[in-house]
A = this chain, B = another copy of it.
Amino acid sequence: MFKHVDYLQFQAKPEKPDALFAAKLQELVGGQFGEMTVMMQYLWQGWNCRVPGKYKDMIMDIATEEIGHVEMLTTLLARLLEGAPNETTEKAAAANPVLAAVLGGMNPQHAIVTGGGALPRDAAGVPWNTGYIVASGNMLTDFRSNAAAEAQSRLMTSRVYNMTDDRGVKDMLQFNLARDTYHQQQWLLGIEQLIEDGFTESGIEQSNGEDEKDFARRTFYSFDPESTAGEGRWARGQSLLGEDIEYVADAVPLTDDKPLGPAPDPKLFVSYAGDMGKGKPGTGGAAHAQGMANVVNKIKGALD
């Protein structure tokens, strides 16, 4: 359950309105790596976390903080949009000709849709969606995603930070930049803790690792004869798992298998020259039918 406190975590006081900058700032709210993304990603990871105690509490703490960050940004946006030029273009240009210059860059939905408030969209006006977030239940993979999200989020914030001289806006973004610096580390330290607590041995996701083809776990394949990729750390020395990395320049196929599907079901009218025999509709072929017969027998046994 959640509670609300009617104050911002940190103040959001621009010196003056700036509708053009507001359009750009939307990226930090509803972009792929905006605050809505981390808010929702952490909420879902927290709800999906099966390890109660410090891990689940930590995820819920940061998730709860992030709801407040969206709140800060929506407040900042509404203030940046104060008195934004929404009237007739010609009139606006006449009264204050330089306004004409910024009319193009404004986001018209800031007037038409929200009446001067923030939008749950990115800087291009694209709605936010949950395709941006992940909550896999596996803390190692999710902490990797979170560290990446904070790094990307901080980079976008930093770029936007350089696009304004407004001291009030910069003041708030200086807080956000610092939180992103801390949160990046929080997730990387979280991986250290996972290792310490035995949830992962190496920090590398390696479930079913005993089954993987080991030659392919330590090999860099290059696909361009002139590639210089072999000069990098990733292609030389020991891997993080302690194996020697192999560099294969100008890789070749490891098989003579060609990318060709089987004979198609004739009822589906797929173009076919008959060279792979007759396609059979809905039978799955001999092997499939046999597999199914096995199941029939097992069901019969279970029903007896």
Contacts and interface: CB of A to CB of B under 8 A. Distances in A.
Given A6-B259, A270-B138, A265 B83 contact: yes
- Name the residue among A40, A67, A290 with the largest chain B CB count within 10 angstroms: A67
A137 B2 CA distance: 24
Contact of A52 (B181, B234, B275): B275
Interface in A239-277: 239-241, 251-265, 267-273, 275-276
A211 B261 CA distance: 29
A132 B135 contact: no
Given A97-B299, A105-B106, A288-B82, A18 B128 contact: no
Nearest to A33: B134
A102 B104 contact: yes
A255 B8 contact: yes
A85 B47 CA distance: 22
Interface in A145-170: 145, 147-148, 150-152, 154-156, 158-165, 170
Contacts of A209: 177, 181
B44 A74 contact: yes
Interface residues of A, number: 234
Interface in A262-301: 262-265, 267-273, 275-276, 279-285, 287-292, 294-296, 298-300
Nearest to A28: B112
24 contacts: A7-B257, A8-B258, A23-B108, A47-B78, A49-B261, A50-B276, A51-B271, A58-B234, A65-B223, A85-B284, A97-B303, A98-B100, A105-B105, A112-B159, A117-B261, A137-B268, A137-B271, A138-B270, A162-B208, A178-B217, A181-B212, A184-B205, A189-B233, A189-B234
B268 A116 contact: yes
Contact of A48 (B92, B94, B114, B185): B114
B60 A4 contact: yes
A256 B175 contact: no
Nearest to A206: B181
Nearest to A184: B204
Contacts of A99: 282, 292
